[in-house]
């Protein structure tokens, strides 16, 4: 990457320097020449006009004008007859007049009488045109380019030196930029390799470049998540094996007791069998929770929504807790509106309500009372469900955390409660998948309320 970046940057600088040099090279000479050309044209036109206006009587005037123009333009101006004599300015003379005339005529061969021609000579730029001055004459204006040509050459030489220096500097800068860009990426990939080998204590270092810094942040975030998930897995294994061990020990102990002690005593046997059934139920619950969580984690848990009677469905779920009312003195105070319909995954909502009511049962106060309500809220087009208990409640700091995986508030409750810390995590995921509003309100010592807003639908709605 380092080399390729450097190569690309360098090629880019080379292209730019080359273009700039190339363009400047031609501009430097071209600008001077085109300026002189237009000055030659103007001077030529002016001289021709003066000649045609004042000739031949005003020869001194014309002579004066030409001399002034020569001085102003730093050029040589001659009016030459076809025989090769210079007739203006007065004192001028011309060597090789014949040859000059031939040369001028060769330049004017293909143009008509009134057209002037500008052409390059040896280190000079020349203007020629035909003029009537009693006879047919030629006007020659010659501009020496020796100085300009040598200046242009010097400028071009400087241009080459400057371009070469710029190019070398560009190569060096390219190298350092390439180095600066690739070094953090190289270090990140080395860090990622360490992480792949199981070291999550590594840190991806951010740099000055925003994108690279963002990449470092994302990788750090990914690393933290992987680390968390690793910790979760370890905790899951530890929690689950611990939670599985307790009921299994109980089941084994009570089965042995039935075998050895209570087998013939129907009352005791019944009592011991009930403990075994309870513990087996707890085991089933735990295994189901773990299965649900793994389904959520692997995202294979899909939601199958349909319209159903939430009122009747709720009564059905509550009836599963009848045994607690009958055998353990729990009371369920219900306030449920009739025939409320909603659109959701019935089975999953069953799980949600069951988990919330179980928690209320587990964590309610000495009065062993749980309040369940399902009320229609037609103004907001929703059904408000809530489960309330009278237990110790949940402190503000814990109110957010209870929805996390394996989170269990480390506090004394009215009864020793055995849980996995997975129930509310499952509830949260199911409700999020439905996009239903839900939450928990609680105050220390005043119990808790867990609530959900279901959408209201008509029983006959097409889905």
247 binds ligand ADP (CB under 6 A): no
Q: Which is nearer to ligand ADP, 184 or 423 (CB)?
A: 423
CA gap 141, 338 in Å, rounded: 113
370 binds ligand ADP (CB under 6 A): no
407 binds ligand ADP (CB under 6 A): yes
Q: Specify whether the CB–CB gap between 174 and 4 falls below 8 A.
A: no
CB of 388 to ligand ADP, least distance (A): 9
Q: Specify whether the CB–CB gap between 174 and 6 falls below 8 A.
A: yes
| 131 membership: H or E segment, kind and range | strand 124-132
CB of 394 to ligand ADP, least distance (A): 5
Residue nearest to ligand ADP (CB): 419
| 450 membership: H or E segment, kind and range | strand 448-455
CA gap 120, 142 in Å, rounded: 10
Q: Specify whether the CB–CB gap between 457 and 323 falls below 8 A.
A: no
Which tokens belong to 422?
């997975």
Q: Map tokens 């957010």 to a residue.
A: 400
Q: Which is nearer to ligand ADP, 209 or 354 (CB)?
A: 354
Beta bridge partners of 374: 336, 385
Per CB under 6 A, the list member of 116, 188, 389, 452 interacting with ligand ADP is: 389
CB of 415 to ligand ADP, least distance (A): 12
Per CB under 6 A, the list member of 360, 374, 430, 457 interacting with ligand ADP is: 360
Q: Specify whether the CB–CB gap between 365 and 405 falls below 8 A.
A: no
Cα–Cα distances in angstroms (integers) from residue 276 to residues 115, 270, 447, in the given order: 123, 10, 31
Q: Which is nearer to ligand ADP, 70 or 389 (CB)?
A: 389
Per CB under 6 A, the list member of 43, 92, 292, 359 interacting with ligand ADP is: 359
CB of 283 to ligand ADP, least distance (A): 14
363 binds ligand ADP (CB under 6 A): yes
Those residues whose C-beta lies under 8 Å from the C-beta of residue 22, and which sit 6 or more positions away, are none
CB of 281 to ligand ADP, least distance (A): 14
Q: Which is nearer to ligand ADP, 186 or 320 (CB)?
A: 320
Per-residue string for binding with ligand ADP, 414-453, x by CB under 6 A?
A: -----xxxxxxx----------------------x-----
- 341-344 and 124-132 strand pairing: unpaired
184 binds ligand ADP (CB under 6 A): no
> End-to-end distance of the chain based on CA atoms, in angstroms?
55
402 binds ligand ADP (CB under 6 A): yes
Cα–Cα distances in angstroms (integers) from residue 151 to residues 113, 381, 407, in the given order: 36, 88, 85
Q: Map tokens 């030659």 to a residue.
A: 40
Size of the site for ligand ADP (CB under 6 A): 19
Q: Specify whether the CB–CB gap between 446 and 376 falls below 8 A.
A: no
Among the residue ranges 158-166, 175-183, 256-264, 352-360, the one whose residues contact ligand ADP (CB under 6 A): 352-360
Closest CA to 411 of 397, 424, 423, 425: 397
CB of 352 to ligand ADP, least distance (A): 11
Per CB under 6 A, the list member of 76, 108, 283, 409 interacting with ligand ADP is: 409
Per CB under 6 A, the list member of 344, 394, 431, 457 interacting with ligand ADP is: 394
CA angle centred on 420, ends 415 and 421, rounded to 5°: 90
Among the residue ranges 170-178, 266-274, 327-335, 403-411, the one whose residues contact ligand ADP (CB under 6 A): 403-411
Q: Which is nearer to ligand ADP, 314 or 422 (CB)?
A: 422
Q: Which is nearer to ligand ADP, 190 or 401 (CB)?
A: 401
Q: Map tokens 């143009």 to a residue.
A: 111
At how many degrees (to 10) do helices 210-260 and 146-196 cross?
A: 10
191 binds ligand ADP (CB under 6 A): no
Residues forming contacts to ligand ADP in the complex (CB under 6 A) are: 355, 359-360, 363, 389, 391, 394, 402, 407-409, 419-425, 448
């Amino acid at each position: 990457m380092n080399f390729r970046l450097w190569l690309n940057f360098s090629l880019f600088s080379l292209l730019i320097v080359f273009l700039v040099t190339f363009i400047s090279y031609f501009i430097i000479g071209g600008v001077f020449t085109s300026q002189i050309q237009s000055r030659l044209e103007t001077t030529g036109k002016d001289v021709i006009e003066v000649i045609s206006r004042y000739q031949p009587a005003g020869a001194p005037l014309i002579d004066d004008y030409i001399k002034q123009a020569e001085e102003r333009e730093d050029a040589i101006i001659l009016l030459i007859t076809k025989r090769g004599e210079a007739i203006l300015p007065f004192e001028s003379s011309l060597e090789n007049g014949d040859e000059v005339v031939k040369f001028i005529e060769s330049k004017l061969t293909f143009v008509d009488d009134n057209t002037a021609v500008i052409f390059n000579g040896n280190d000079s730029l020349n203007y020629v045109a035909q003029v009537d001055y009693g006879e047919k004459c030629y006007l020659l204006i010659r501009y020496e380019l020796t100085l300009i040509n040598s200046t242009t050459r010097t400028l071009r030489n400087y241009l080459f030196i400057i371009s070469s220096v710029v190019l070398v500097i560009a190569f060096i800068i390219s190298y350092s930029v390439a180095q600066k860009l690739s070094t953090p990426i190289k270090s990140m990939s080395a860090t990622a390799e360490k992480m792949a080998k199981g070291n999550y204590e590594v840190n991806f270092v951010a740099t000055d470049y925003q994108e690279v810094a963002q990449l470092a942040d994302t990788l750090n975030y990914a690393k933290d998540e992987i680390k968390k998930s690793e910790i979760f897995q370890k905790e899951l294994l530890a929690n689950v094996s611990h939670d599985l061990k307790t009921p299994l020990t109980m089941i084994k102990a009570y089965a042995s007791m039935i075998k050895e002690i209570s087998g013939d005593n129907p009352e005791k046997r019944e009592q011991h069998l009930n403990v075994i059934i309870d513990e087996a139920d707890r085991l089933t619950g735990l295994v189901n929770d773990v299965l649900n969580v793994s389904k959520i984690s692997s995202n294979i848990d899909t939601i199958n929504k349909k319209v159903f009677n939430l009122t009747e469905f709720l009564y059905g779920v509550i009836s599963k807790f009848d045994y607690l009312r009958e055998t353990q003195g729990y009371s369920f105070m219900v306030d449920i509106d009739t025939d409320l319909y909603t659109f959701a995954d019935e089975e999953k909502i069953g799980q949600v309500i069951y988990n919330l009511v179980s928690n209320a049962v587990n964590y309610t106060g000495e009065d062993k009372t749980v309040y369940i309500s399902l009320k229609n809220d037609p103004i907001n087009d929703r059904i408000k469900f809530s489960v309330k208990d009278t237990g110790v409640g949940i402190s503000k700091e814990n109110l957010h955390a209870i929805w996390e995986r394996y989170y269990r508030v480390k506090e004394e409750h009215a009864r020793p409660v055995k849980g996995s810390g997975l129930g509310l995590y499952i509830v949260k995921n199911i409700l999020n998948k439905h996009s239903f509003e839900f939450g928990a309100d609680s105050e220390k010592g005043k119990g808790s309320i867990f609530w959900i807003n279901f959408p209201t639908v008509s029983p006959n709605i097409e889905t």
